[in-house]
Structure 1
Amino acid sequence: MRSSLKYLLALPLLGLLLQMQGCGTCGFDCSDGNDNEAAASLTLSFSDAPLEDLKEVVIEVSAIEFRRDNLDPIVVETFDLATSSGRESFKIDLLQFPGIQSQEILTGLTVPADFYDEIFIEILSGDVNHSYVLDDEDMSRVINVDDSGLLLSGRQVDAENQDITVEFGLARALKFNANDDTYTLDEEGVRVVQDSLDPSLGGIVDEDLFTAAVECDDMEDGDNAWNRVYLYEGTGLDLDSLGDVFTEGAAGSAGKIAPYAASTLTLGPNGWQFSFGYLPSGGYTLAFSCNAQEDDARTVQDITIPLPADQVVQLSLSTQENVSCDLELQESPRC
């Protein structure tokens, strides 16, 4: 017996459900009726952590492969949308799908319970008609993806229902190329997580913090591009070593602690908010900076973190726990 594989996209809000049914080729007989092989019902989602100053981050996916050691991969390479069938690719604006809300986009593929070493997401790139960024000046910039896609670490899929999400941490994964005004999307910051078990963390940031430090008092009213919340693995860290986002081996990174994730702020009904989804259980250090406008995905910018200096907190996250931390002026973060 085998059971259905489902792909989901994570949505920021409950909204119109766009269903896609998928078919593809399999590294086994998809309909052989072999009841001796354990089955798994798998749900795969896409989610992201958004960036400032970008209106759209669109990728066109042409295939998804689930790879097992010494076996042919399970390949999904045609997609049926609600409005058309037999599509050989589909586009996703990642900025429309943050958070942990999910939308089903592909069903009907059966998989055996097994360890899948790798998940490969094939992406059409190098052409603004396929994958692109739309910036705050409404200019479309090409997204390039090396090796035709993203090769991600796999997961164990047991003989039970499981929810798995591909989390695009765009603050680390999306890199601007100043020499030709293009972007590169790579695996750094893209994670495969089991979202039914993983804890999440979020909260509200007091707008008064945006200009609470001398370094930030030039920020214009309503300008949120300077502000980020950083999350580091571990507690008891040397606060002087907390680094901004950078690639491994970047100049000036010696002794710096790279953030596990970075969150920009979005305006919600209760104020400016941040969120981190699909986190491994364990201890973390959360810190805010009101002077992060120069942060990028490649280089060390020596951004002061935390800023103001009291906007840092240590916390522990447990399985299936949703933790709220609010950052307020003249108070330490409350979790």
Structure 2
Amino acid sequence: MTICKTMLVLSSIFWLGACGSDSDSTVTAPEQVLPQGQFSLAISDSPMAGVTHVGMVMGELVMTDAAGDIHRHDLQDMAFNLLDFQGMDSHLMVDSIDLPPGQYHDAYVTTQQGDGNDGCYVEDGQGRHGLHITNGQLPVSDFEVVADQHLAITMEIDLYRGLSNEQGQYLLNHEAMWSVDNSHMGHLLGEVDPQWIADCETTHSDLASAGGQFSHMAYLYPEEVTDINQMADMGTNPPAGFIPPTAVSPMMQDTDGNWHFAMGYLPAGNYRVGYSCLGHVDDPITDEITSGPFVMFKDSGSITIEAGTQGGQQTVHECGNGNGGHHGGMGMGLGG
């Protein structure tokens, strides 16, 4: 009997030990949280004369990562007037969405092609017209998302160079668009010598538009341009020896008569500024500088756009003797 009792007790101990061993071996691994970066996208524009409203209707942001996977972010038919966001002002389309770290390419925002009633449109002195954007897309340059960092990009649209009207239908092409990391860009504020304005109008009085009006324009060129004779107009196919502008902006006159201009979201770097009062004869497609009436009136010299420590630094440039510090006031857009 003693032997039997001992064996029974030992068997019970082994059985209980085995149960405890099974329980201890079942361990739930903690859920792995992958690192994410944040991405924001805004849009801004440089306006053009004769257009009072540029209605945009956005569909979605599309982008492809390094593995070839396509990411989409619904913009829910976001609608706004592009002309409300000029110079350093911008409209935030995508606000701090999470994305896996890595390189992204083939990025664009889809738009709803307009027919004058629905979709994108332009209003001018002759009414409301449909707006078609090349491929129905606004391209975004390639970018990299870094874990635990926020990347803010702004898309700039130069309407003077990109918007054209063909038989009552407006077209917006990609050549006049760029996007830039907000931490690597700056803004240009220009003061214009009133004597330049007067001299240009006097010299080219025979080229004034109906009513004797002129379109005073600032032209920004890459640093490869070192002479006024290299400054092309807005035509898409510049003649040999000419270099097209990087950006174009109309000059404004404040209530005190001071002329000024602004160009926002420029990639940091070296540029050169040109001036003409003949913007009204500068067609955005055809060459008007060798076979037309357009003339670049003044070379305003070189300029360096700096981003500053956080991006968005303002650089003031004087055309001629400037105008005494009156370069207009503009709000700031999306920060870096």
Q: CA deviation at 1:328?
A: 4.7
Distance 2:96 2:242 in 1: 46
The answer to whether the aligner puts 1:167 opposite 2:151 as a matched pair is no
Counterparts of 1:69-148 in structure 2, within 5 Å, are 69-77=66-74, 79=75, 88-107=76-95, 109-129=97-117, 130-135=119-124, 137-148=125-136
- The whole-number CA distance in structure 2 between the counterparts of 1:254 and 1:107 is 44
- CA gap of 1:66–1:124, structure 2 versus 1, over 3 A, is same
CA pair 199-212 structure 1, distance change in 2 beyond 3 A? same
- What's the offset of the Cα at 1:266? 3.0
Q: Is the 8 A contact 1:326 1:334 kept in 2?
A: no
SS of residue matched to 1:210: helix
Of 265, 271, 281, which aligns to 1:278? 265
Residue 60 of structure 1 is aligned with which of 57, 60, 63? 57
- The answer to whether the 8 A contact 2:134-2:174 is kept is no
Which of structures 1 and 2 has the bigger CA Rg? 2
Q: Does 1:35 align with 2:33?
A: yes
Of 187, 192, 198, which aligns to 2:185? 198
Deviating above 6 A after TM superposition, structure 1's stretches of 4 or more consecutive aligned residues are 220-224
Q: Is 1:259 matched up with 2:245?
A: yes
Runs of 5+ unmatched residues, structure 1: 1-32, 80-87
- Report the Cα distance in structure 1 between the residues aligned to 2:268 and 2:108, rounded to whole angstroms: 25
AA at the equivalent of 2:62: E
**What is the rounded CA distance, in whole Å, between the counterparts of 1:267 and 1:238 in structure 2?**
27
Count of matched residue positions in the alignment of Structure 1 and Structure 2:
283
Q: Is the 8 A contact 1:204 1:327 kept in 2?
A: yes
Larger helix fraction of residues: 2
Q: 1:206 to 1:222 in 2, by over 3 A?
A: farther
The separation in 1 between residues aligned to 2:95 and 2:321, in whole angstroms, is: 47
C-alpha spacing 1:233/1:106, structure 2 compared with 1 (3 Å): closer
Whether the 8 Å contact between 1:325 and 1:334 is mirrored in structure 2 is: no
Q: Distance in 2 between matches of 1:105 and 1:238?
A: 39
Given candidates 226, 240, 243, the residue that maps to 1:237 is 226
User: Tell me, what secondary structure is at the counterpart of 1:95?
Assistant: helix
Q: 1:266 to 1:67 in 2, by over 3 A?
A: farther
Q: TM-score, normalised by structure 1?
A: 0.75
| Deviation, structure 1 residue 242 | 0.7
> Partner letter of residue 293 of structure 1?
H
Higher mean C-alpha displacement, 261-270 vs 60-69: 261-270
Deviation at 1:103, TM superposition (A): 4.8
Structure 1 pair 91–258 and aligned structure 2 pair: CA distance change class (3 A): same
Superposed CA RMSD in Å reads: 3.0
2-structure distance, mates of 1:330, 1:99:
19
TM-score normalised to the size of structure 2? Answer: 0.75
Check the 8 A contact 1:241/1:256 in 2, yes or no: yes
Give SS of 1:196's match.
helix
Question: What is the deviation of 1:61?
Answer: 1.0
Displacement after TM superposition at 1:212 (Å): 1.4
Matched residue, 1:292: 279
TM superposition shift of 1:168:
0.9
Equivalent residue in structure 2 for 1:153, among 132, 141, 144: 141
Q: In structure 1, what residue type is equivalent to 2:173?
A: D
Structure 1 position 236, deviation (Å): 5.7
Output the CA distance in 2 between the equivalents of 1:223 and 1:93: 30
Deviation at 1:297, TM superposition (A): 1.7
Q: Does 1:322 align with 2:309?
A: no
